Structure 1
Amino acid sequence: MGLRERGVELLQHIKGWSRKLDKNRRPLDGSTVITAEFDPHATGQSEEARLRTLGTFGGVFTPSFLTIIGVIMYLRFGWIVGNAGLYGTLAIVFLANTITFITALSVSSIGSNERMETGGAYFMINRVLGFLPGGAVGIPLYLSQALSIALYIIGFSESLANVVPAWDIRIIALATLGFLSLLALIGAAFMVRIQYIILSLIILSFVSIAAGFRPVFSNLEPSYLEGVSFWGVFAVFFPAVTGILSGVSMSGDLKNPGKSIPRGTLAAVAVGFIVYLLVPVMLAFSVARDDLFASSSLVAASRWPLLVTLGVFGATLSSAIGVLLAAPRTMQALGSDGALPRIFGSGVGKTREPILGLSVSVLIALGAIVMGNLNAVAEVLTMFFLTTYGVLNLAAGMEKLVGNPSFRPSISIPWWISFMGAAGCFGVMFLINTPATLVALALVVLVFFLLSIRARNLDPGSPGIWEGFWTGLFFTVSRKLAKTRSRSGKNWRPLIQIFAAEIASHAEIISLAALFTRHSGALAIYAVRDPASPQSRDEMQHELDSFNETLHHRNIFTTMVETRNLFDGILISSQSAAFAGGAYNTVMLGFPSGTKQDRDYAGLLMGLSSLDKNILLFKRGTISWHFSSDPVIVWWGGQEQNVRLMLFLAHLVQRNSAQHKRIRLGTIVSSEEDMPAAEARLASTLQELRMQGEIFIVPNPEKRQLCDVIEENSRESSLVLLGMAKPREETLGSYLPGLRTIAGDLQNLLFVLSNIPEQEYE
C-alpha cells in the first residue's frame, strides 16, 4: 500500500471526512494551496446573540461611582474625621484607596483580556480560575447582592422616615422595592437613565458641600473616643470604597466591555478618591470637633442642607439600583455555567434581560425586608464582597505569573502587585470583623465542596489557568497534567514536532521552532534514522544532544526514530503522545527542494492534516532571519483558522527574539474599492486577538499572479508567513508544485496550515 492510499485510509477511519474539488482554482499559480486574497464578503465571526446597549459612562462609570459615593460619606465621614483628625483620615483614605486601586487594576487586566459576557466578577473568576472557584465565590456573591437590595432600600427608607416620621419604614421599603422592580423590567438602559438623575442630585450635593466651606476650625490631630482606634475607624470607612464591581456586573450589556470596564472602573476610583480627599478637608476646617460626631455634621455644614439630604437619598437609592441590576445578571451567568439550575441562565428579548433572575432576587429582597433588621448579617455580606475582590486580585496575579500566551491584556500589571491587593483585601476582612470573615470563608468552602459533587455530572467548561499553571511549572508531573488537560483555547500552547534525517541541515528549522516554543511551549526533535545508515544510533543521538545544548531551551525533548520509509516514520511518530496523555499539536517540516517525491510528500501532509495536526513548512533563505531587524509579514486571505495561528506565531517571534521585529499584516484585494473593507477586517482581527501590528492592503486590479504580488511586497522582511489550504486527494499531484510557484524567490518563508477549531483558540 502506497503512502497516498495510507493517507486516504486514515481519512476514512479517523475522521470520515471528504473534500469537494474546487474547479475554479488554478494549480500552478498557487491558488489551490494558499489563501492570500481577501474575501470582502466573509464575516469572520458570528453575530452576538445578546444586544449590547451600554457604553463606558452609563454602563460602568456611573454605577461604580454612585456606589462608591454612598451613605458612609454623607452620614459617617464626620465621625471618622472627629476620631482620626484630618491627618489620620487622609491616611485612611490613601490606604483604603490603594487596595481599591490595585483591585481595579486587576479587574481591568482581566476585563481587557477576556471576551466578557454577563456575570461581571463571577464571570472573570470562573474563566480565570475555573468552574469550582468561580462558583464557590459566585453563589455567595449573588446572595450578597440580592440581600444588599434589601439593605440599601431599608437604608433609603430610614433616611426618608427621618424626614417624614409619620411614614412607616417597612411600607416605604416595600413600595420602593416594587417601584424599582417595575423599572428594572424595562431594562438596564432605562435604569441607567434613572441613575443619571441620581448622579445629578449627588453633584448638586457636592456643590452645596463646597459652598458651605468656612475655614474656622482646625481638626488636624486625632482625638479617638473611648474604645476606638485607628484600625477601628479604618474598618468603618473601608466599605465606602468597595463599590467598583457595580459597573463590572454590567459586562454582558456593554458594547465594548474590554475597553469600558478598565476605563470606567479606573475613572470611578480616581474621581471617588478625589472626592474622599476633599470632603474631610471641608469637615476638618468647617465643623467643631464635638459636632463632627453627629451623623448630620455634613448636612449641617453644607450651604443648602436640603441638597445634601437629597444626596443621601440618591446615594442609598443608587446603590439599591446597582445591586438590583447586578444580582440577576450574576444569577444568569451562574445558571448558564451550570453552577445553578440551567433555567436561571435564560434571558428575554434581544438584550437577554434576566427576568427570572430578577424575580428571584426581588423575592429574596422582599423576604429580607419583611424579616426586618438585617444588621446581624450585614457585615457577613460585606465579607463576601471583599472575598470577591481578594479572589479577583489572586486571579489576575496568577494569570500573569503562569504566563499563558493567551493572556495579553491591554492593562498589564506585575503579579506581585495583584497579590499585594489580595493580601490587603483579606487583611482588611479580619480587621473589620474576624468572626464574620471566618463565617464568610467557611461558606465559600462549603459551596466549593457542594459544587465539586455537582460538577461530576456536569461539563465544567474551561478549567481556567490551571492547565497552563501545571504545564508551565510542572512539565514533568504527568499524572497531574493528565487530570487537568482540556482543549480550552485559553491554555493552547505550541507543542511542535520536528523530524530530521540530518541534524545539521535542519538547524535553521529547529532554531525557529525553539523560538516559537520558548517560555510557553515544548519542542520534540525526532532524529529519523534508516537502519541501513552508516551512522550508528549512538552517534546520531550524540549529535542530536550536542545540538540541543546550544539552544538553551528547557522544554526540548529529543528521541530517535528508526524507519526504512521516512514518510511512514513521520506519520506514525506524529501520533505518539507528548506527555500527560496529550498529543503534540504541530508538525514542522522543511520545504522540499526536489520534485521526485512531491506526490508522496503531499500525501504525508494530507495524512497529518487528517490527524488535526497544524503543519508548518519552512523554506530557509540565503541569509538567516535571526540577524534581520526587518518585520515579520503575515499574508491573509480571509481564513480565520490560518490567520489566527500565523499571527500567534508572529507574536511569539516578536516576543522571544533578541531583535524586536514588527508585525505587518497584509492582504490582496481585486480592486481599490475593496481596500476599506479589507483594512477594517484586518484591524478588527488584530483588536480581537489583542495584538499590535501594521496593516497594508495591496490592490491587484490587473489580476497579476499572486506569487508576483506577494514576492514584490515581501522583500523587506525577516520572515514571511503564508496560509496553506488543506491538501485533498484531487490536488496531491499539483499541491507541492503550486506551493513552489508561490514560494518563488521568497526568503525565509513559512507556510502555515492550522487545524485549531476557532472555539478552542484565543
Structure 2
Amino acid sequence: MANPTATDNVPATGTLGTFAGVFTPSVLTILGIILFLRLGYVMGSAGLARGLVIIALANAISVITSISLSAVATNLKVCGGGDYYLISRTLGLEFGGSIGLVLFLAQSVSIAFYCIGFAEAIAAFLPHAHPATVQLIAAGAVAFLFIFAWQGADWATRFQFVVMALLVAALLSFGIGGIRHWDSAVLAANWATPGDGAPFWVLFAIFFPAVTGFTQGVSMSGDLADPGKSIPLGTFLAVGLSIAVYFGVAILFSASMPNAILAMDYGAMKRVSAVGFFIDAGVIAATLSSAMASFMGAPRILQSLAADRIFVFLTPFATVSQPSGNPRRGVLLSAGIAFVTIALGQLNLVAGIVSMFFLISYGLLNYATYFEARTQSPSFRPRFKWFSPPLSLLGCVICLGAMLAIDPKSGAAAIALLFAVYQYLQRTAGPARWADSARSHHLQQVREHLLAAAEDPAHARDWRPQLLVFTHDSPKQAAILSFAAWIEGGSGFTEAVQIVEGEGPAVRKAREAAHRNLTEAIVRGRHPMFPLTVSAADPTQAMGVLIQSSGIGPLRPNTVVVNWMDDSAKAISGINAYNYVRNLRLIFRQGKNLVLLHTDQESWQRLETRSREDRRIDIWWQGDATSRLMLLLAYLMTRNEPWNKTALRVLTQGDGARVEAEKETLKKTLEEIRIDAAVEIVDDVEAATIVNRSADAAFVFLPMKFVHNQILDPTGKSFERCLPRLPASALALAAEDIDLDAAPEEGLAAQVAQAADELEAANKKAQIAEKTAADKKAALESLKNQVETLETEGISGAVPLEEHDALKEKLKDAASGAEKAYRRAMKAKVKAEDAAKAVDTLNPGGLPAKPPDHKE
C-alpha cells in the first residue's frame, strides 16, 4: 500500500483507453433504467412531438456540458477525481471540495439506488416474495459488485463488457420488434399530445435522469492512459450514440403502440420486443452497469479529495493499493454507505437530492469553463476548439432551470448543503495546494475595471488615498506600515517602497534581501499593500522617478507617507538626512500630498496598548486644503478595527470675541461634510497650546509648511518645540484641495457636459448662419441675372431707366447683405470649432487639482 500526499496527485498514468475507460461506463449509465421502463410512459403521456422536444432539451444539457467538459479536460493534465478535479483546479478548493464531497456521497448512495432497482426487477420473477427480499437481493448485488470494484478498474471493465453485450442484445431485440409492429397510422395518431397527458415539466423531470451519467468516464480519469484525448472523444461518442438510441426508441414506441397503452404500461418495451427475455436482461444489465459505474467513480473522487487534504478527516482515504493504484479504502466506504442506505430503505427521500447533485456538478462544469475562458488567461489553450464561453454559461443556467423544474425542494436542499460545505471550507481550509483560475479572474477584472475607470472623468467624490510609503529597515518600519494601512481606510491602494543605495551584484542581493524583509513585514502586519524595492546609485533621482512613474492608468499615487527626520529618513534621502527637506519639497512640487509620521518606540507602544474606548484623534484645523486632507485621513482611520470607536476632535484658533459663532460655523461645516467630530476653539496654536490640549490624545494631525529648507509649524516656528512632547503624530501638507462635499453635478463631467452643450449650440448657430449666407448668395445671384437681363433690354430701349436704377440699388443691398451673412457664418463656424476644441481639451483622466489655499 502507498500513502500519498497531495503532491502525489500527479497527471494520470493509467492504462485504460477511450473505449473501456470513458465510452463504456458513460454509455452504460446513460442507457439505463429510464430507457427500458419509463421512456414509453413519457412518449405516451407527451405525444411524439412533445416527447421529442423533451428528449432534445434534456440532451442539449448533456451536449453543452460535454463541450465544456472537453474544453477544460484538454486544457489541463487531468489527474484522478473526475468532476472534482476539473472543478477544483478551475474554481478553487472551496467549490471543488464542496462538489467533491457531495458527489462522493451521491455516487455512493446511487450504488444502493441502482442495486435496489436491480433487486425489484429480480423480485418480479419470484412469486410470493418476502418484503425484505428486495433489500436482501440489493445487498447481494452490492457485495457482488464490490468484488469487481475491489479488484480494480481492469476487472470492472471486463464486467462492463458483459453488460454492454446484454444492452446491445436488448436494443436489437426491441429494434426488430419495433420494425415488425410499425404502423404509420398509429405514428400519425400519436403525434399530438393526449388530452389527459401529464404536464410537460413533470415528464421532463421523469425523463431527465436518463441523460445523466455521461461524466462517469471522467470519474475514471486517474485510470486513463491519455485523459486529454480519451475524455472528449469517449464522452461525445457516448452522448452521440445515446441520442440516436433515445430518438430511435421513441419513434419506434410511437409507431408500435397507441399513446394510451404506452402511458399505462411500464413494460411496453418488452411487449414490442422480438424477444422479451432480452428486455428483462437489459433492465438487469442497465441497473448493474449504472451501479458499477458509481462503484468505480465514487472511491476515486474520495481518493483525489483526500490526497488534496482539504478535509483533514479524509486523509486516510488518500491511500491507494499498488501497483494498480486502486483506492480500496474508498471502495470499502462506498460499499458501507450503500449497505446502510439499503438497510434504511428510504431511497425516495434522497433520490431527488442525488439527482440534484449531479445537475449541480454539470452546472459547475459549465461555469468552470466559462470562468476559465472569461479570464482571458494566456494559459487557457484547450486543444478542444469547438467551445463557446456564452454557450457554457447557457449550459449552467439550463442546469439550474432543470433543477427547479424537476424538484424545487430537492434542488434547494442540494444547493443549501453545497453552500454550507463551501462556507465551512472558506473558513477552515488552509492555502490551496494548486493554482486555480481565481487569480487570473481577478487580474482580468482589474484590467477591465482600470480601462473602464480611465474612460470616465475623475470627480472629487471619487478621491481615494493612493499612498506611496517610503520605508527603511529600522525599528519604525512596522509603525509607518501600520499607519499607512490606517489612513488608507480600506478605500485606496498603498505601495510600500524601499530604496537600496548602490549598484552591482552585491546591491542586487541586498535589494532581494530587503524586498523579502519588507514583504515579511507586510505579511506579519496583515497590511493591504504592495511591496516595491528598488536599487539606485542616487536615491534622490530614484525617488523622483518613482513619484512620476508609480501606479497605472487612473491609479496614481496622490499622497506620499514618510517618517519624520531621523535615522529612518534614509528612506528618501540616502545615507543621511541632509537632503531630507529638499526631497520632500520635490515630492510636493510633483503635486503629491505629504504626510510625515512622528513617533518613537515608547509612544508607539503606549498607542498600541491604549484601550479603544479611550482613544481620541486631534486635528488642528486651519480651514484650508491641508486641514481638509487631515480631517479625511483621520476619518479614514476610524474605519479600521483598532480605531472604530475613536472620537475625533477638531481644534482651531478663534477670535475671542466670536468664539461661539466660530464654533457653530465649524460644526455646521463638519455636519455638511458628514464627519462627526467635536469642536474646540483655542486662543492660539503655539507649541505650548498644542501640547497642553493634545498631550492626552491617542493621535494628532498637525499642518506644516515649508520655509526655505525648513519644515515649520503653522506659526512659522520649529516643530521641535512640540513634537517630542506629543503622542504619535502626523504632519500634513496638501498639494491638492479635496472637496469633501462635492455634488455629483460638479466636476469634470459637468464641465464636459456644459462644453458639449455649448458645442451643440454653436454648431446650430453655424448651420443657421451658413444657411442664411447661402440664401443671401442665391438672392444676389438672382438679382445679378435680372440686372443683366434689364441692361440687355435697356440697350434696346425696352426697359424704363427708373426700373433699371431700382434693380441696381437692390443688387447693391443684396451684395452687402450676402457679405455680412458670410462673415457671420465664418464667425459662428470658428466659435463651433473653438467649442469642439474645448471639449477635446478637457482631460478625461481627471481635473487638475485646484491650487491649495496655502503658499509654499
- Select the residue among 228, 240, 243 that pairs with 1:270: 240
Q: 1:557 to 1:50 in 2, by over 3 A?
A: same
Query: Aligned residue for 1:123?
Result: 85
- Select the residue among 143, 159, 163 that pairs with 1:198: 163
Query: Aligned residue for 2:371?
Result: 398
Deviations 1:434-490 (A, max 9, x none): 1111111111111112222331xx3422351111111121258999xxxxxxxxxxx
Q: 1:319 to 1:271 in 2, by over 3 A?
A: same
2:147 aligned with 1:182, yes or no? yes
Task: Give the aligned residue type for 2:134.
Answer: I
2:444 aligned with 1:444, yes or no? no
Comparing both chains, which one has the higher relative contact order based on Cα–Cα distances under 8 Å and sequence gaps of 6 or more? 1
Across the two proteins, how many residue pairs are aligned to each other? 468
Are 1:118 and 1:330, in contact at CA under 8 Å, matched by a contact in 2?
yes
Q: 1:473 to 1:320 in 2, by over 3 A?
A: same
Query: Aligned residue for 1:469?
Result: 441
Offset at residue 562 of structure 1 (A): 12
2:137 aligned with 1:172, yes or no? yes
- Select the residue among 318, 335, 350 that pairs with 1:377: 350
* Alpha-carbon distance between aligned partners in 2 of 1:261 and 1:325, rounded to the nearest angstrom: 16
Offset at residue 49 of structure 1 (A): 8.9
2:294 aligned with 1:320, yes or no? no
* Alpha-carbon distance between aligned partners in 1 of 2:25 and 2:102, rounded to the nearest angstrom: 21
- Percent of counterpart pairs with the same letter? 35
Are 1:530 and 1:563, in contact at CA under 8 Å, matched by a contact in 2?
no
- Select the residue among 279, 303, 322 that pairs with 1:308: 279
* Alpha-carbon distance between aligned partners in 2 of 1:557 and 1:154, rounded to the nearest angstrom: 67
Query: Aligned residue for 1:416?
Result: 390
Are 1:70 and 1:240, in contact at CA under 8 Å, matched by a contact in 2?
yes
RMSD after superposition? 3.5
**What is the DSSP-based 3-state SS (H/G/I as helix, E as strand, rest coil) of the residue aligned with 1:262?**
helix
Query: Aligned residue for 1:29?
Result: none
Query: Aligned residue for 2:302?
Result: 331
| Aligned 1:564-713 pairs, distance under 5 A | none
* Alpha-carbon distance between aligned partners in 2 of 1:399 and 1:56, rounded to the nearest angstrom: 25
Offset at residue 149 of structure 1 (A): 0.3
Task: Give the aligned residue type for 2:220.
Answer: M
* Alpha-carbon distance between aligned partners in 1 of 2:372 and 2:259, rounded to the nearest angstrom: 48
Task: Give the aligned residue type for 2:76.
Answer: E
Task: Give the aligned residue type for 2:204.
Answer: F
- Select the residue among 198, 202, 207 that pairs with 1:232: 202
Are 1:146 and 1:324, in contact at CA under 8 Å, matched by a contact in 2?
yes
Task: Give the aligned residue type for 2:366.
Answer: N
* Alpha-carbon distance between aligned partners in 1 of 2:384 and 2:141, rounded to the nearest angstrom: 40
Task: Give the aligned residue type for 2:305.
Answer: L
- Select the residue among 182, 190, 202 that pairs with 1:215: 182
Task: Give the aligned residue type for 1:418.
Answer: S
Task: Give the aligned residue type for 1:53.
Answer: T
- Select the residue among 310, 329, 341 that pairs with 1:368: 341
* Alpha-carbon distance between aligned partners in 2 of 1:532 and 1:258, rounded to the nearest angstrom: 55
2:269 aligned with 1:295, yes or no? no
Offset at residue 48 of structure 1 (A): 6.6
* Alpha-carbon distance between aligned partners in 1 of 2:242 and 2:446, rounded to the nearest angstrom: 43
Offset at residue 46 of structure 1 (A): 11
Return the index of the structure with the highest Cα Rg: 2
Query: Aligned residue for 2:318?
Result: 345
Deviations 1:146-205 (A, max 9, x none): 100000000011011112335521221111111111121111111011101111111111
* Alpha-carbon distance between aligned partners in 1 of 2:81 and 2:539, rounded to the nearest angstrom: 60
Deviations 1:593-618 (A, max 9, x none): xxxxxxxxxxxxxxxxxxxxxxxxxx
Q: 1:220 to 1:349 in 2, by over 3 A?
A: same
Are 1:528 and 1:562, in contact at CA under 8 Å, matched by a contact in 2?
no
Query: Aligned residue for 1:428?
Result: 402
Offset at residue 530 of structure 1 (A): 7.4
2:161 aligned with 1:161, yes or no? no
* Alpha-carbon distance between aligned partners in 2 of 1:380 and 1:73, rounded to the nearest angstrom: 21
Structure with more helix by fraction: 2
Deviations 1:568-587 (A, max 9, x none): xxxxxxxxxxxxxxxxxxxx
Are 1:530 and 1:562, in contact at CA under 8 Å, matched by a contact in 2?
no
**What is the DSSP-based 3-state SS (H/G/I as helix, E as strand, rest coil) of the residue aligned with 2:124?**
helix
Are 1:72 and 1:237, in contact at CA under 8 Å, matched by a contact in 2?
yes
* Alpha-carbon distance between aligned partners in 1 of 2:259 and 2:308, rounded to the nearest angstrom: 53
* Alpha-carbon distance between aligned partners in 2 of 1:256 and 1:355, rounded to the nearest angstrom: 23
* Alpha-carbon distance between aligned partners in 1 of 2:573 and 2:326, rounded to the nearest angstrom: 62
Are 1:51 and 1:351, in contact at CA under 8 Å, matched by a contact in 2?
no
Task: Give the aligned residue type for 1:235.
Answer: A
Are 2:11 and 2:77, in contact at CA under 8 Å, matched by a contact in 1?
no
Q: 1:446 to 1:291 in 2, by over 3 A?
A: same
Are 1:83 and 1:222, in contact at CA under 8 Å, matched by a contact in 2?
no
* Alpha-carbon distance between aligned partners in 2 of 1:207 and 1:260, rounded to the nearest angstrom: 27
Are 1:344 and 1:357, in contact at CA under 8 Å, matched by a contact in 2?
yes
Are 1:84 and 1:230, in contact at CA under 8 Å, matched by a contact in 2?
yes
TM-score, normalised by the number of residues in structure 2:
0.51
* Alpha-carbon distance between aligned partners in 2 of 1:454 and 1:226, rounded to the nearest angstrom: 54
**What is the DSSP-based 3-state SS (H/G/I as helix, E as strand, rest coil) of the residue aligned with 1:83?**
helix
Are 2:11 and 2:79, in contact at CA under 8 Å, matched by a contact in 1?
no
| Aligned 1:72-83 pairs, distance under 5 A | 72-83=34-45
Deviations 1:268-293 (A, max 9, x none): 11111111110011000111222212
Offset at residue 138 of structure 1 (A): 1.4
Are 1:49 and 1:350, in contact at CA under 8 Å, matched by a contact in 2?
no
Q: 1:282 to 1:554 in 2, by over 3 A?
A: farther
Unaligned runs of 5+ in 2: 1-6, 451-465, 468-531, 559-570, 575-856
Are 2:46 and 2:197, in contact at CA under 8 Å, matched by a contact in 1?
no
**What is the DSSP-based 3-state SS (H/G/I as helix, E as strand, rest coil) of the residue aligned with 2:38?**
helix
**What is the DSSP-based 3-state SS (H/G/I as helix, E as strand, rest coil) of the residue aligned with 1:163?**
coil
* Alpha-carbon distance between aligned partners in 2 of 1:268 and 1:99, rounded to the nearest angstrom: 14
- Select the residue among 206, 209, 212 that pairs with 1:242: 212
* Alpha-carbon distance between aligned partners in 1 of 2:236 and 2:271, rounded to the nearest angstrom: 32
2:58 aligned with 1:96, yes or no? yes
Are 1:156 and 1:313, in contact at CA under 8 Å, matched by a contact in 2?
yes
TM-score, normalised by the number of residues in structure 1:
0.57
Query: Aligned residue for 2:69?
Result: 107
Q: 1:115 to 1:562 in 2, by over 3 A?
A: same
- Select the residue among 1, 6, 15 that pairs with 1:53: 15
Are 1:131 and 1:463, in contact at CA under 8 Å, matched by a contact in 2?
no
Query: Aligned residue for 1:755?
Result: none
Q: 1:442 to 1:48 in 2, by over 3 A?
A: closer
Q: 1:232 to 1:175 in 2, by over 3 A?
A: same
Offset at residue 320 of structure 1 (A): 0.3
Q: 1:49 to 1:279 in 2, by over 3 A?
A: closer
Query: Aligned residue for 2:255?
Result: 285
